[in-house]
Amino acid sequence: MAGHIRILIVDDSPFMRRAINSLLEGEKDITVVGFAKDGLDAISQVQDLKPDIVTMDIEMPVMDGLKALKIIMEKFPLPVIMLSSLTEDGAEGTLDALDIGAVDYIPKNLSNVSLNILKIKDDLLSKIRAITVKKYVFRQYEDITAVEQTSLEENTDGKNKINIVAIGSSTGGPRALQDVIPKIPENFPVPIIMVQHMPKAFTGSFAKRLSSMSHINVIEASGGEMIMPGTAYLSPGDKHLSIEKAGREGIRITLSNEPVDLINRPSVSFMMESVAKEYPGKALGIILTGMGSDGLLGMKKIKEGGGKTIAQDEATCVVYGMPKVVVDAGLADTVLPVYKIGSEIIKEIMG
């Protein structure tokens, strides 16, 4: 998006409005065009000011952020970043907002708002700039709760058989995963390992929500469990997830704080590298929408080992960052819109 990024700040707290404004006012490419104190005010301001992007609190008087977001998405669709509390209720509200159409969220710690505001500055600025690089396509995904079951016949040719699926995502990932995973049939013969950049307070709620709309079981990994076919395992938000052989018992999940020098925890690449090691030539790596380059090294390991790779296309990404570096490096066997990736996974497993 050329020129200044025009932002509307929506929050019922005068302190929060001033604090967010102070984070943005020194940025040469960003202009705060207005403030709204509740959801009703936000709708009016969006209509009048036509901002490029909105930051919005969820809990507000008169009209809350979720109700306002729904109306904005229906009448004046534009990118909205939610400010969400790190609580169970905050997680549910954030996931509701992402379902309605918010492109991302910034978690805030209500126990020390002043300190938290300083901590979120880099995250907020990078997300604002990444999300407004291109005009985001506000596509209404098909009714993912009504996807028909697909009968899956396993590929009996062991030479090219995929025995595990590894998926990595970040900004825009929850919505993308809700498009991909519900297409997987109940009798899916291999496990799925997933890393989504998300706070620990959110991953458990997201796993339950994704499971409720899917034919397979989706769980937040607890560490030590043996991976099973027809189950998707989501890394908790504060741990690195990897897999390793457990003797004759099979393959188990390991959670760890190490390594500490990686930018993201959980790390997509760290997970994928372990998948490539344990399933050489038998892994399918998938990189979905997200900011940055996490997943590049992991996809490289999967491809070098003889596995298959898929990247989400630019048109359906909220942020074309993680898939872009994979595609630019020549590591994507297939590049697809997100709504075709689920069926492509089934095709790869069937051989």
Catalytic residues: 170, 197, 294
Backbone phi, then psi, for 200, in 5-degree steps?
Answer: -55, -35
Could you give the CA distance from residue 206 to residue 98 in angstroms, rounded to a whole number? 11
Could you give the CA distance from residue 72 to residue 284 in angstroms, rounded to a whole number? 38
Residues 54, 152: contact at Cβ < 8 Å? no
Buried/exposed 210-234: b ≥16 CB within 10 Å, e otherwise: bbebbbbebebbeeeeebeebbbbb
Could you give the CA distance from residue 112 to residue 255 in angstroms, rounded to a whole number? 29
Residues 177, 197: contact at Cβ < 8 Å? no
Give percent helix, percent strand, percent coil of the chain, each to the nearest 5: 40, 20, 40
Nearest alpha-carbon partner for 296 in 333, 329, 258:
329
Strand, coil or helix: 182: helix
Backbone phi, then psi, for 9, in 5-degree steps?
Answer: -100, 125
Strands lying side by side in the sheet with 53-57: 30-36, 5-10, 53-57, 80-85, 104-108
Which residues partner with 335 through β-bridges?
Answer: 311
- Amino acid symbol at 305: G
Name, in order, each residue with C-beta under 8 angstroms of 314's C-beta and a sequence gap of 6 or more.
134, 320, 323, 324
Q: How far is CA 53 from the centre of its chain?
A: 19
